[in-house]
Amino acid sequence: MAIYNIKNIKSILNQINNDATLSIIPSLDEFLLTSDKFKPIQLNGWIKTFRKQSNLYFFTLNDGSTIENIQIIFNTSLNNIDEVKKAHIIKILKKLSVGASLELKGFVIKPPENSKETIEILLCEITHSGIITDRDTYLLNKGRVKTEVLRQNLHIRPKTNLFSSLFRIRSTASFAVHSFFQKSGFLHLDPNMITTSDCEGAGEVFSISAYKLNNIPKLNNKVDYSKSFFKKPAYLTVSSQLQLEALSSGLGNCYTTNPSFRAEKSSTSRHLASFTHIEYEMSFADLNDLMDISEKFVKYVITYVLDKCKKDYEFIDKFYTKGIINRLQQYNKKDFKRITYNKAIDIIDNAVSNGKLKLNDVPKPIWGDDLGSVCEKYIAEQHFKLPVLVYNYPKKLKSFYMKEDVHDNTLVNCMDLLVPYIGELIGSSVREDNYDKIIMNMKHKNIDPKPLHWYLDLRKNGPWRHCGAGLGFERLVGMLTMNNKNFNIRDCIPFPVAYNECKY
């Protein structure tokens, strides 16, 4: 017997015109007259709604393949199955409620004319069930549950309409990432997540060891790393960029979907301690190439998810983020704006002077300062109302590996993609390929060159023009599904880990 998922059943019916559908699917009366001509199908899933009316049981089933449910009916007065089997089904049905799991067999029938359903399943057998032990206290039996409550019950979120849609879109976006880079000729390679260097030099790293916490060997009151697993300090990576650069030094264009880890003591709605990091490196390319492919990449993902997740987007647009479909379509219809950092500072200065941007307790950035999330969102969300590529930031503001601008040595060739409601989505740069300059940069930023001797060797022997970028995948999911009223990075990942937050 074939096992169908609900998405397949719905899609098959959508491919058949209404007249043809009516002719091949029997009504209940037609089925009862010639039931021996029809074969049951098997469905599995979780109960979304459940009610009993007189001698009828009605419930909807969802298996996670689509936002759409399928209605199951059971009529205790029908004689299409024997009494023993009927009694067994009724016994199980009396124990079921919202959230219970079910494996069943049934016949596809045409619903009554006044029904909103396209088809129904006439239940004929329950092969397995998983009941809710305490219906009165079960969270999903209390009606619509707020996202704040669900964040405290992460294991329940996949059973809700909202998060099942969000996670299907996330899954589809993940596939789109690979599709884009594979079609663009990039190699997918995931470097090591345990490393001996801090890519950014910011020190916000998670140290790791195989020590027992109550028995850490010390020498002169310091950890004795000679007795550690790696014989040296090791960390969870904050970025796979440096290793990805090494791979691209002989393989050309590469990308990774590795997780990255940041020990930032931040509890904002925009930060995680562990996130999926989409990073890509391009060999023999410059800043314009980097901006071009970054824009194409984001637009490709938007196009892909809007096409593959139509039903989920209809639900989200109606009940969660109104206007999301139109907004994303507008992103794809227009070129992303491209402005220099200097222009961005001018826009912020004018907006503050004209009263269009109120910074409250946040100091207004001057030349040489980071723009900050408030200003970044203003530029994209209110000034341009589109994603914006901001390039050529001050050198003192950025990392040691960014290439100095040939026309102005106070600037580096880098680019941040700012998007409405989210802020920074992509951080990127042309990589400094001059050995002497990168050594000087490391000295100015107090970065020990010893752990990065291999990275410096790439500049000594066969340096090449290259550039690369990093995108926080969870922020991309936020851009695809949320706005300023509901964006929270914790809702973009199945099990968020953040400062003071590691529940599972």
pLDDT, tens digit, 9 for 90 and up, residues 149-166: 999 999 999 999 999 999
Range of the structural domain that residue 10 is part of: 6-142
Question: Is the pLDDT assigned to residue 89 strictly greater than 50?
Answer: yes
- Measure the CA–CA gap between 301 and 317, rounded to whole angstroms: 18
pLDDT cut 70: percent of the chain above it: 96
Q: Which phi and psi angles does 49 have, rounded to 5°?
A: -140, 155
Paired sense of beta strands 206-208 and 234-236, if any: antiparallel
The answer to whether the CB of 94 falls within 8 A of the CB of 76 is no
**Which residues are within 8 A (CB) of 278 and not within 5 positions of it... i.e. 6 or more apart?**
177, 255, 256, 257, 470, 471, 472, 473, 476
Question: Is the pLDDT assigned to residue 266 strictly greater than 90?
Answer: no
Same domain, 351 and 208: yes
With respect to residue 227, please indicate whether it lies within any of the assigned structural domains. yes
Question: Is the pLDDT assigned to residue 20 strictly greater than 50?
Answer: no
With respect to residue 147, please indicate whether it lies within any of the assigned structural domains. no
Question: Is the pLDDT assigned to residue 449 strictly greater than 70?
Answer: yes
Provide the pLDDT for residue 22. 45
Same domain, 197 and 270: yes
Helix axes 161-183, 310-319, angle to 10 degrees: 130
Instruction: Please compute, for residue 194, the number of CA atoms within 13 A of its CA located in the half-sphere on the CB side.
Output: 9
Same domain, 59 and 182: no
Same domain, 64 and 185: no
Same domain, 137 and 206: no
Q: How confident is the model at residue 217 (pLDDT cuts 50, 70, 90)?
A: confident
Paired sense of beta strands 274-283 and 388-394, if any: unpaired
With respect to residue 148, please indicate whether it lies within any of the assigned structural domains. no
> Which of 142, 177, 202 delimits the end of a domain?
142
The answer to whether the CB of 119 falls within 8 A of the CB of 25 is yes
Q: How confident is the model at residue 330 (pLDDT cuts 50, 70, 90)?
A: very high
- If you average pLDDT over residues 126-138, what whole number do you get? 94
Same domain, 54 and 200: no
Q: How confident is the model at residue 199 (pLDDT cuts 50, 70, 90)?
A: low
Question: Is the pLDDT assigned to residue 327 strictly greater than 80?
Answer: yes
Residue 444, phi-psi category: left (phi > 0), alpha (psi -120 to 50), beta (remainder): alpha
The mean-pLDDT minimum among 23-32, 57-66, 200-209, 273-282 falls in 200-209
Same domain, 138 and 213: no
Provide the pLDDT for residue 431. 98
Q: Which phi and psi angles does 97 have, rounded to 5°?
A: -160, 180
Provide the pLDDT for residue 12. 66
pLDDT, tens digit, 9 for 90 and up, residues 62-83: 999 999 999 999 999 987 888 9
Question: Is the pLDDT assigned to residue 221 strictly greater than 60?
Answer: yes
**Which residues are within 8 A (CB) of 161 and not within 5 positions of it... i.e. 6 or more apart?**
48, 67, 315, 319
3-state SS class at 395: helix
Q: What is the mean pLDDT of the chain?
A: 92
**Enclosing H/E stretch for 474:** helix 473-481
Q: Which residue has the tokens 């089997």?
A: 85
With respect to residue 161, please indicate whether it lies within any of the assigned structural domains. yes
Q: How confident is the model at residue 3 (pLDDT cuts 50, 70, 90)?
A: low
With respect to residue 466, please indicate whether it lies within any of the assigned structural domains. yes
What would the two tokens of residue 231 be? 């014989």
Tally of domains in the chain: 2
What would the two tokens of residue 341 be? 């950092």
Question: Is the pLDDT assigned to residue 17 strictly greater than 50?
Answer: no
The answer to whether the CB of 98 falls within 8 A of the CB of 137 is no
pLDDT cut 90: percent of the chain above it: 77
Would you give the distance in Å from CA 114 to the centre of its chain?
40
Question: Is the pLDDT assigned to residue 37 strictly greater than 60?
Answer: yes
Q: What type of residue is 498?
A: A
Question: Is the pLDDT assigned to residue 358 strictly greater than 70?
Answer: yes
Q: What is the DSSP string of 164-203?
A: HHHHHHHHHHHHHHHHHHHHTT-EE----SEESS-SSSS-
Same domain, 50 and 187: no
Same domain, 133 and 200: no
pLDDT, tens digit, 9 for 90 and up, residues 401-440: 999 999 999 999 999 999 999 999 999 999 999 999 999 9
With respect to residue 500, please indicate whether it lies within any of the assigned structural domains. no
**Which residues are within 8 A (CB) of 271 and not within 5 positions of it... i.e. 6 or more apart?**
262, 264, 489, 498, 499
For 236-340, where are the alpha helices, taking DSSP H only? 241-251, 287-308, 310-319, 324-333
Tell me which residue of 95, 101, 90, 31 sits closest to 62, measured CA to CA. Answer: 101
- CATH of residue 30's domain is 2.40.50.140
Q: Which residue has the tokens 């580096």?
A: 412
Paired sense of beta strands 254-256 and 187-188, if any: parallel
The answer to whether the CB of 281 falls within 8 A of the CB of 245 is yes
- Measure the CA–CA gap between 68 and 66, rounded to whole angstroms: 5
Q: What is the DSSP string of 233-286?
A: -EEE-S-SHHHHHHHHHHH-SEEE--EEE------STT--SEEEEEEEEEES--
Instruction: Please compute, for residue 112, the number of CA atoms within 13 A of its CA located in the half-sphere on the CB side.
Output: 3
Q: What angle do CA 156, 160, 163 make, to 5 degrees?
A: 90
With respect to residue 1, please indicate whether it lies within any of the assigned structural domains. no
Provide the pLDDT for residue 71. 95
- Measure the CA–CA gap between 224 and 330, rounded to whole angstroms: 57
Which has more confidence, 7 or 407?
407
- If you average pLDDT over residues 34-42, what whole number do you get? 84
Provide the whole-model pTM: 0.93
Q: How confident is the model at residue 127 (pLDDT cuts 50, 70, 90)?
A: very high
> Which of 81, 113, 142 delimits the end of a domain?
142
**Which residues are within 8 A (CB) of 24 and not within 5 positions of it... i.e. 6 or more apart?**
16
Same domain, 395 and 318: yes
Q: How confident is the model at residue 312 (pLDDT cuts 50, 70, 90)?
A: very high
> Which of 117, 142, 167 delimits the end of a domain?
142
Same domain, 173 and 111: no
- Measure the CA–CA gap between 396 and 183, rounded to whole angstroms: 37
With respect to residue 497, please indicate whether it lies within any of the assigned structural domains. no
Which has more confidence, 118 or 183?
183
Which has more confidence, 76 or 11?
76
Task: Tell me the residue length of the chain.
Answer: 504
Same domain, 57 and 96: yes
- Measure the CA–CA gap between 60 and 481, rounded to whole angstroms: 26
- CATH of residue 293's domain is 3.30.930.10
Tell me which residue of 88, 203, 162 sits closest to 316, measured CA to CA. Answer: 162
- Measure the CA–CA gap between 480 and 325, rounded to whole angstroms: 9
